[in-house]
Amino acid sequence: MLTPLGIGVEKSWNAMCRGESGIDKVTHFDTTDMPSKIAGEIKGFDPADYIEQKEIKKMDRFIQLAVAASQMVMDDCALKVTDENAPRIGTIVGAGMGGLSSIEFFYKRLLEGGPRRVSPFFIPIVIINLAAGQIAIRFGLKGPNSAVATACASGTHAIGDAFKIIQRGDADAMMAGGAEACITAIGFAGFCAAKALSTNNDEPKKASRPFDAKRDGFVMGEAAGLLMLEELEFAQKRGAKIYAEVVGYGMTGDAYHITAPSPDGDGAYRCMKAALGDSGLPQTSIQYINAHGTSTKFNDELETMAIKRLFNEYAYKIPVSSTKSMTGHLLGAGGGVEAVVSVLTIVNGIIHPTINYEHPDPQCDLDYVPNKARQAKVDAVLSNSFGFGGTNASLIFKKFEK
């Protein structure tokens, strides 16, 4: 993963465990006229560290991040792609908005200099499925190739869909997750107009405060997070390092509003319930929930409500924390990054905190692992992602037992 906390899994994860924030003043564009001036930008990313120079100009930043993450995945998993297995290895990468910065850039060129100023690569630079496309081309992955565009649930849906593709026998391995890079003037202006963003500009590192009574909106972030999913026998036969097992996937729709979640939290409840049913695990096996936890009033209240409805009194015994308290809201990349985090929680026995939790909200009364990481034996994790349009996704990861 590449996040506002660092480039690479180790840097990002260690910073999360320390409870650090990756939020700061925006540098990607001039925020003078914007009510919000803060975001979770990835610092020090150079696409040339991962991508051939001539190929960089053919990719929007979100694709560059996805390709960089894919190289990290391939380096880690040591999966050798051959002529024989390539048709059984695929990729699904989600994004919420695609190449927004490149759309801005080339539209300005069009207005200033006419159509000749628009790159012949413009379309493949910006369309969402080219993250998966570029990864497949890079590594010769000839299996199922797709993209998911379900707003903030994109990365989670991508992993869940890849899980089901393998489960039904259509692939042996799938690289899956999400990438997003839309900290741009038009992206910011849109979210500001919707009054969705925090305006706590004077204290950027305290602006993202999920479940806290003084939360005032989410903070935009950019990132990429990918996993390699493999069918068990395929992984074991090649001696793969197995971090965890994907055991459950749920997806639902609110059918309520274009941006607001259903006021009874029913969509989130049914989504988590579906994932739990798919996993075959009892409720009490879930030992940690990586919450959607956006730092908006209604999302945090309604996710809490849905958790309590599903788990009843056991809900108060489950640690719940929000990665977004430190990274900001990574939009389509959030589910990918949070899936990596969920797996690392199982592997390392550490639950990262929800930082900036200072003022308890009576409507949000669960154990949010406030401000400090916690050591704990975690064998099963539920990870939630909910998006605009009322689209919901939940995944369950479980400790792998030989």
The residues that are catalytic are 152, 292, 329
CB atoms within 10 A of CB 238: 15
User: How far, in Å, CA of 90 to CA of 67, rounded?
Assistant: 14
Are the beta carbons of 186 and 104 closer than 8 angstroms? yes
At a CB cut-off of 8 Å and minimum separation 6, what does 109 contact? 117, 118
Could you tell me which of 135, 158, 152 has the C-alpha nearest to residue 196?
A: 152
Residue 208: burial class (beta carbons within 10 Å; 0-12, 13-18, 19+): buried
What is the number of residues in the chain?
Answer: 402
Task: Write phi, then psi, for 282 (nearest 5 degrees).
Answer: -70, 155
Are the beta carbons of 218 and 295 closer than 8 angstroms? yes
Could you tell me which of 323, 318, 356 has the C-alpha nearest to residue 340?
A: 323
Residue reference for tokens 């994790």: 381
